[in-house]
Amino acid sequence: MPTVSKIVNNTLNETNREPMIQLDSISVRYNLPTERIGSFKEYAIRLIQRKLKFKSFWALNDINLTVYKGEVFGIIGANGAGKSTMLKIISKVMHPTKGRVRVWGHIAPLLELGAGFHPELTGRENIFLNGALLGYSREQMEAVFDDIVSFSELNNFIEAPIRTYSSGMYARLGFAVATAHQPEILIVDEILSVGDEAFQKKCNDRMTEFRENGATVLMVSHSMDVILSMCNRVAWLDRGKLMAIGPADQVVAQYREGKP
Q: Which residues bind other proteins (CB under 8 A)?
A: 14, 17-19, 22, 30-31, 38-40, 43, 66, 88-89, 91-96, 99-106, 109, 111-112, 115-116, 118, 120-121, 125, 128-129, 132-138, 161
- We find the least distance from the C-beta atom of residue 14 to other proteins, in angstroms, to be 8
The smaller minimum CB distance to other proteins, of residues 6 and 163, is found at 163
Nearer to other proteins by C-beta: 76 or 134? 134
The residue (of 90 and 252) whose beta carbon lies closer to other proteins is: 90
Minimum CB separation of residue 256 from other proteins in Å reads 29
Which H/E stretch holds residue 170?
helix 167-178
Query: Distance (Å, rounded) from C-alpha 101 to C-alpha 64?
Result: 10
User: Which residue, 125 or 153, has its beta carbon nearer to other proteins?
Assistant: 125
Cα 46 to Cα 59: distance, rounded to the nearest angstrom: 26
Helix axes 123-133, 167-178, angle to 10 degrees: 40
User: From CA 170, how far away is CA 16, in angstroms rounded?
Assistant: 40
Taking the complex as a whole, how short is the minimal distance between the CB of residue 45 and other proteins, in angstroms?
13
What's the closest the beta carbon of residue 75 comes to other proteins, in angstroms?
16
Q: What single DSSP character describes residue 184? A: S
Name the burial class of residue 150, with classes exposed (0-12), middle (13-18) and buried (19+) by CB atoms within 10 angstroms of its CB.
Answer: exposed
